Structure 1
Amino acid sequence: MKEIKEDSKKIVESWVNQFSDELFSWALYKTSSKETAEDLVQETFLAAFNKIDTFQGKSQPKTWLFSILNNKVIDYYRLSAKTTKKTFSISENSGYELSDGMFNENGGWKNNDMNPIWNQEEELLDNPEFNIVMQDCMDDLPQKWKFAVTSKYLTDKKADEICQELEITTSNYWQIVHRAKLLLKNCLEMKWV
């Protein structure tokens, strides 16, 4: 038994040396927090060590580790959503106020004027400075909202999959995405000149 544990330890140590940087980059991308990303990668390797006997080699070790990490990220957002479920952050309240203030009593847009920065949409995506501001605005979103937006637009997940991961209803999901987009638009219009 001691030999098996030593072999497992050596295998996981080699994986740590091979895949730590890639796992960390992915976790940082998904959470935008260096500390959280480090914790999630550490938890991933710990889980891999504890469950190494279940690894059958049907996939590459890197694939298996990324699968564990993705589950850790999902658990992280679920836990965050549950702890903030009863209280709304200022950003969420801002999202409600912003979205409610954009429509008239008949449900139509109050103002159809478009900020001129949106006329150059394609050039903006190629602009590194704009992307930094965009990332700052994304980081300002509540975690659940950021996860919903990044899952939808950056990883192309389906709405029902995101709803299941966040444990929310479809209508709640679409409200979150809509309000998050409005907050992003507002933030970009304020910070990007």
Structure 2
Amino acid sequence: MANVSEAEKHSTVKDWVLEYSDSLYTRALNRTSSVEIAEDLVQETFLAAFAAFDGFQNKSNIKTWLTSILNNKIIDHYRNKSNRHQSLDQLEEDKAFNMTDSMFNMNGEWNSGNQNSIWEDEKHLLDDEDFNATMKLCMDDLPVKWRLAISSKYLLEKETAEICQELGLSTSNYWQIMHRAKLLLKKCIEMHWKI
């Protein structure tokens, strides 16, 4: 959008704020579980869009472009948070590894008590409000890097290579984290979800 006056740029971004704030805020809130952080990320998204306004070339629609900026802001938020809490997160990861190890016997097979019938009707789980609330709580309990890996894969639908690059993981470490995160989510949901 080259050759646009400052007044036109301000007016256009103001229109975007009015039109897209709610959907961006909902996305940010779903990814961060914090009203304050979601508000800050949406504000940062519009500031970044304003700064990059002249570079936007209408190759995608505005909402897609803004959502992409927001997704990057969310990743940056968690990356910064992860860097600040790396030693604490390492303790969380060690604890999580120990918890998942206890789910298997010496031969690497499931312990007999680790299978639950609640997963038999999995097609309807995402329609259940209680399940979704429990899932959100369980996601919040994961170590930060594990939560980012799961969210990037299943909520943001990113490719493995991109997630590994963003989180500084090797491919094998990524798959190990994904596997163990799913195990912890399963265990947490089974313990806390009231059917």
Superposition TM-score, scaled by structure 2 size: 0.85
Q: How does 1:69-84 map to 2 (within 5 A)?
A: 69-84=70-85
Residue 38 of structure 1: how far off its partner (Å) = 0.8
Q: Distance in 2 between matches of 1:113 and 1:7?
A: 60
1:14-40, CA deviations, whole angstroms, 9 ceiling, x for partnerless residues?
Answer: 111111111111112222222111111
Q: Quick one: which amino acid aligns to residue 176 of structure 1?
A: I
Is the contact made by 1:44 and 1:69 (CA closer than 8 Å) also made in structure 2? yes
Over the residues paired in the alignment, what is the CA RMSD in angstroms? 2.2
Q: Mark the CA change 1:57 to 1:87 in structure 2 (over 3 Å): closer, same or farther.
A: same
Which residue of structure 1 lines up, in the alignment, with residue 54 of structure 2? 53
Which residue of structure 2 lines up, in the alignment, with residue 164 of structure 1? 165
Task: Describe the SS at the equivalent of 1:88.
Answer: helix
Q: Distance in 2 between matches of 1:101 and 1:61?
A: 48
Q: Larger deviation: 27-36 or 121-130?
A: 121-130
Task: Describe the SS at the equivalent of 2:79.
Answer: helix
1:99-158, CA deviations, whole angstroms, 9 ceiling, x for partnerless residues?
Answer: 121233333333365223233333433322222222221222223212211222334322
Q: Larger deviation: 14-23 or 67-76?
A: 67-76
Which residue of structure 1 lines up, in the alignment, with residue 177 of structure 2? 176
Residue 61 of structure 1: how far off its partner (Å) = 2.2
> Does residue 68 of structure 1 match 2:69?
yes
> Does residue 122 of structure 1 match 2:123?
yes
Superposition TM-score, scaled by structure 1 size: 0.86
Q: Quick one: which amino acid aligns to residue 108 of structure 2?
A: G
Q: Quick one: which amino acid aligns to residue 29 of structure 1?
A: N
Q: Number of aligned residue pairs: give it.
A: 191
Is the contact made by 1:95 and 1:182 (CA closer than 8 Å) also made in structure 2? no
Q: Distance in 1 between matches of 2:117 and 2:48?
A: 50
- Quick one: percent identity of the two aligned structures? 53
Q: Mark the CA change 1:136 to 1:113 in structure 2 (over 3 Å): closer, same or farther.
A: closer
Q: Quick one: which amino acid aligns to residue 183 of structure 1?
A: L
Q: Quick one: which amino acid aligns to residue 14 of structure 2?
A: E
Residue 42 of structure 1: how far off its partner (Å) = 0.5
Is the contact made by 1:24 and 1:37 (CA closer than 8 Å) also made in structure 2? yes
Q: Distance in 1 between matches of 2:63 and 2:136?
A: 27
Show structure 2 runs of 5+ residues with no match.
none
